[in-house]
Amino acid sequence: MLFIAATSSSSSGRRQLVAVGVIAPLVSLVDQTSSPSFAAENKKGFLPVTDNKDGYSFLYPFGWQEVTIEGQDKVFKDVIEPLESVSVTVFPTNKQDIRDFGPPDQVAGTLIKKVLAPPSQKTKLIEAKEQDVDGKAYYTFEFVAQAPNFTRHALSTIVIGNGKLYTLTTGANERRWGKMKDKLQTIVESFKLANV
């Protein structure tokens, strides 16, 4: 409860108005986060992203900042560890299902070499699998991309819906993979499509 004592001084009155202006938004934020509908969409340590135009949502770690990168629909990255990031790309397609492109390992291998890593990097597919989420086939895969001065360990998920091919990719420097693996897995598992 917010309590402000009334005084006759105009200076004190201005201070009270400033206090109300600062505290009121915080009170409304506290009320929002405790509501069941908000809590259901969030996971501790993560923030939700919902793109109603393109029809997808996912979670990203608290503290990552949104950045703009040409050719990417959404990108969030850690400001201290720039290899820790998540990006979403959206391409138009006439395919109806991700399986129309081929099996998971074949599609993952092609995407890694042609889209997800620069041609100068040495890449290795570790695992690729198919999952069914709400009646849609998603391909999820893990890979490493080695540059001269670093190795990035990454996870991706791809799916087709709304006449588009969606690719979400997240990763970290290989030296931090052990620490980041669970967070990155949460990001990939949170990626969902909605009909638009």
Are residues 30 and 85 located together in one domain of the fold? no
CATH code, 134 = 3.40.1000.10
- Give Cα separations from 44 to 9, 37, 61, 100 (angstroms): 45, 15, 9, 36
Are residues 36 and 109 located together in one domain of the fold? no
Domain assignment of residue 85, given as a range: 43-193
When divided into structural domains, the chain yields a total of 2
- Give Cα separations from 162 to 55, 94, 159, 196 (angstroms): 8, 10, 10, 6
- Spatial separation of the C-alpha atoms in residues 86 and 66, rounded to whole Å: 10
Are residues 139 and 123 located together in one domain of the fold? yes
- Sign of the dihedral through C-alpha 97, 100, 69, 118: positive
Are residues 30 and 89 located together in one domain of the fold? no
* pTM for this entry: 0.78
pLDDT, tens digit, 9 for 90 and up, residues 14-70:
444 333 333 333 333 333 333 333 333 568 899 999 999 999 999 999 999 999 999
pLDDT, tens digit, 9 for 90 and up, residues 102-145:
999 999 999 999 999 999 999 999 999 999 988 899 999 999 99
